[in-house]
């Protein structure tokens, strides 16, 4: 599965790296390399194309800038997973969204504890500062690949025993809510930012420390807009794309 250059393989390094990048991109688009596959090492491609290794590395950097590959120390240059569209509308469900595009969504609980709610979180939930809150963490996957982590805050008084319910619901907030008679809820607000991944986030998401992550701070509410849930989600930037649907479900 090694691409060939359309013209002379050697020559000017300024054009050779682009030809190599174009050839590799074509191979990826044609399915010769699948997501997760490792491209041949720079030294191998350099020998094949009759160029210096730096020329091949420049081609790799260009492909990485295009989002086609990721370059990780110790793991080589790997074809990026396809970005999963994540609609941000009035109703948001990771598993339902994945099901619509033919992927299997799953989740698992990482932790659950009761904490004294800080003023900002409590204000967003229309509670007094210091109100006891559940703080639960979960990991979301698509076809077994980690997509994002979520830290959830909910009032202990409204959701007694939520740690067990959340675990039994396989870390699905929608399924957990049904155990409390909440069959419908809406997204009241979402705030998006981006930053480098921490070491812990990188380990959970199987990305490089410092890789770009998308951070979503969202408030969910009952249909009458009474806030009941806050979630701070951290998504692998190379695997997700946010699609704003202000009038969608």
Q: Any idea which residue has 């699609």 for tokens?
A: 243
Q: Does the pLDDT at position 227 exceed 70?
A: yes
Domain-wise residue ranges, the chain: 13-79, 84-244
Average pLDDT over residues 221-225: 96
Q: Does the pLDDT at position 133 exceed 60?
A: yes
Q: Does the pLDDT at position 2 exceed 60?
A: no
pLDDT of residue 21: 93
| Same fold for the pair 13-79 and 84-244 | no
Distance CA 131, CA 230 (A): 14
The predicted model scores a pTM of: 0.73
Strand ranges for 97-144 from DSSP E: 105-116, 132-142
Please determine, looking at this structure, whether the domain spanning 84-244 carries the CATH number 3.40.47.10.
no
pLDDT of residue 6: 43
For the ranges 23-27, 91-95, 117-121, the maximum mean pLDDT occurs at 117-121
Distance CA 90, CA 242 (A): 14
Q: Which two tokens stand for residue 43?
A: 């030294």
Cβ within 8 Å of residue 205, ≥6 positions away: 146, 147, 148, 149, 197, 213, 234, 236
CB atoms within 10 A of CB 27: 18
Distance CA 28, CA 23 (A): 9
pLDDT of residue 247: 56
**Whole-number average pLDDT of the chain:** 88
**Residue 131, Cα to own-chain centre: how many angstroms?**
31
Q: Does the pLDDT at position 52 exceed 80?
A: yes
Please determine, looking at this structure, whether the domain spanning 13-79 carries the CATH number 1.10.10.10.
yes
Q: Does the pLDDT at position 116 exceed 50?
A: yes
Q: Does the pLDDT at position 78 exceed 90?
A: no
Q: Which two tokens stand for residue 228?
A: 């009941």
């Amino acid at each position: 599965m090694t691409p060939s250059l359309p013209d002379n393989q050697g020559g000017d390094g300024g054009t050779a790296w682009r030809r190599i990048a174009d050839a590799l991109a074509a191979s990826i688009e044609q399915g010769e390399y699948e997501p997760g596959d490792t491209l041949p090492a720079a030294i191998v491609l350099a020998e094949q194309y009759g160029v210096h290794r730096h020329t091949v590395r420049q081609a790799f950097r260009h492909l990485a800038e295009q989002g086609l590959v990721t370059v990780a120390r110790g793991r080589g240059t790997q074809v990026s997973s396809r970005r999963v569209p994540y609609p941000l509308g009035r109703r948001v469900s990771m598993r339902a969204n994945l099901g619509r595009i033919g992927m299997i969504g799953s989740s698992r609980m990482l932790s659950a504890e009761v904490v004294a709610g800080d003023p900002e979180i409590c204000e967003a939930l229309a509670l007094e500062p210091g109100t006891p809150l559940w703080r639960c963490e979960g990991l979301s996957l698509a076809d077994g690949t980690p997509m994002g982590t979520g830290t959830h805050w909910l009032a202990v008084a409204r959701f007694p025993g939520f740690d067990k319910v959340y675990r039994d619901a396989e870390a699905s907030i929608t399924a957990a809510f049904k155990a409390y008679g909440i069959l419908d809820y809406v997204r009241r607000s979402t705030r998006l930012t981006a930053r480098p991944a921490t070491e812990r986030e990188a380990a959970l998401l199987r990305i490089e420390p410092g890789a770009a992550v998308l951070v979503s701070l969202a408030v969910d509410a009952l249909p009458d807009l009474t806030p009941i849930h806050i979630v701070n989600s951290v998504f692998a930037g190379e695997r997700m794309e946010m699609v704003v649907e202000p009038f969608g479900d």
